Amino acid sequence: MQSQQPTTVVVLGTGGTIAGTAARADDNVGYRAAQLGVDALVDTLRGALPDGVTLETEQVAQLNSKDMTHAVWAALAHRVAAHLARAEVAGIVVTHGTDTLEETACFLQRLLAPAKPVVLTCAMRPATSLLADGPQNLRDAITVAAHAGARGVVAVVAGAVHGALDVRKAHTYRLDAFASGDAGPIGRVEEGRLRRLRDWPAGTALGLAVLGDDAARWPRVEIVASHAGADGRVVDALVVQGVDGLVVAATGGGSVHEALEAALVRAQDTGVAVLRASRVGAGPLLPRDDDVLPAASGLTPAQARVELLLQLLARRAAP
C-alpha cells in the first residue's frame, strides 16, 4: 500500500512585526511588534488555506526579533526537530521578525539540515495596518511547507523563496525587503503555486546535541568592522574579556585594515577563532595567496557569526 502524503503544517510563532499592532490602521511606522499570538495570525487565513492542508499552531516565543536570544534559538530548534519527526507533518512554518530572520534561518539550516521544509516568514507591516503583508506571506509560506519534495530551511517573503544561507535583509522598509545575493531565489509562489528555480538547501546537520543544556554557556562570538581609521584596540579589549570567536565585517572582497588585521592575527594566535565576511551586500570572498584569516564566503557578517558560533559549539561537544 502506498503511504499517504503528510498534510499537517505546524506554525510556530516567535513574534515580530507580523504579529505587531499599529496605533492606527494606516500607521506602518508607529507600532509595537509581537503583540498578537500565532493563533490570531492563522485565523486571518481561515478559508484561504491550500487544499487538503491541516494547521497546528504553537507559540514558542513572543518578542521583537531585534531582541532574539540564544535561549529562544535553542527552544525553537528543539520544537522544530520534534515536529519534523512526526510522520503526519509535511513541514514547519516559523513566524519571525525581519531584523534577525537571516540569522535564525542560517542557525536552523546548519543545525538541522532538515529533509522536510522549514519555512520562515515575516512582515514589513504590522498585522493591524490597512494593507498588512503578513497574511499573504503566511499563506505563501504554508504553500511551500506543504509542497511535496520541499526540504531545507527557507524564507518566504513577498512571493520569493530564499535559501537559508543566501537570504539577507536588503532594504529597510520595502515589502520585498529580502534578497538572495548572487544565488537568486530558490523559487516563487505565484497564484498559490510554487515555481521552483533551483535546488533546495542541502547540507550535513550538526545536530541538536551540539547545543548542550544551557544556552547561557554558549561561546561568546562578536562582530567587529573594518573601516577607514580602524585599529586593533577593540579586538585586544575583547580578547582580554575572554571572547571565544570574532567575525570581521571586511571591506570589499574581504580586505581588512592592516592594524585591525594584525590584532585579529594576534587574537587567532591566542586561540580565538576568527572568520572574515564582507560588509558588501552581495558577492563571494575570493581566495588570495596572502590571506591570513579564514573566510565565510557568501555569508553576511551576522550569518558568519552564527556559523562560527555553531563551529565552536560542535568543537566543544566533540568527544
pLDDT digits (tens, 9 = 90+) for 185-212: 999 999 999 999 999 999 999 999 999 9
Does residue 300 sit within a domain? yes
Residues 121 and 73 in one domain: yes
Query: Per-residue pLDDT for 2 more than 70?
Result: no
- The verdict on residue 273 lying in a domain is yes
Per-residue model confidence (pLDDT) at position 1: 41
Q: How confident is the model at residue 47 (pLDDT cuts 50, 70, 90)?
A: confident
115 in a domain, yes or no? yes
Over 70: is that where the pLDDT of 72 sits? yes
Please count the structural domains in the chain. Answer: 2
Q: Are strands 152-157 and 160-163 parallel, antiparallel or unpaired?
A: antiparallel
Identify the CATH number of the domain in which residue 268 sits.
3.40.50.40
Instruction: Please tell me which residue, 136 or 319, carries the higher pLDDT value.
Output: 136
Average pLDDT score over residue span 34-63? 94
Yes or no: say if 112 and 205 are a contact pair by the CB < 8 Å rule: yes
What's the pLDDT score for residue 32?
94
- Is residue 22 in a domain? yes
Task: Say if residue 12 is in the same domain as residue 90.
Answer: yes
Question: Considering only CA atoms, which of 178, 177, 201, 197 is closest in space to residue 188?
Answer: 197
- Same domain membership, residue 239 and residue 187: no
pLDDT in tens, 220-261: 999 999 999 999 999 999 999 999 999 999 999 999 999 999
Per-residue confidence (pLDDT) for residue 3, from 0 to 100: 56
- The predicted pLDDT at position 28 comes to 81
Q: Looking at the domain assignment, is residue 290 inside a domain? A: yes
Mean pLDDT of the chain: 96
Same domain, 27 and 164: yes
> Do residue 164 and residue 70 come from a single domain?
yes
Tell me: do 137 and 272 sit in the same domain: no
- Work out the pLDDT band at 46, boundaries 50, 70, 90: confident
DSSP, residue by residue, 244-285: -EEEEEEBTTTB--HHHHHHHHHHHHTT-EEEEEESSSS---
Q: Is 33 within the bounds of a domain?
A: yes
Pair (265, 227) in one structural domain: yes
Together in a domain, 66 and 153: yes
87 and 23 inside one domain: yes
Whole-prediction pTM: 0.97
What residues make up the domain containing 287? 219-317
Cβ-Cβ contacts under 8 Å for 85 (sequence gap 6 or more) = none
Instruction: Note whether 177 and 231 are same-domain residues.
Output: no
Q: What is the CATH number of the domain that holds 26?
A: 3.40.50.1170
Which residues are part of the catalytic machinery?
17
Same domain, 117 and 253: no
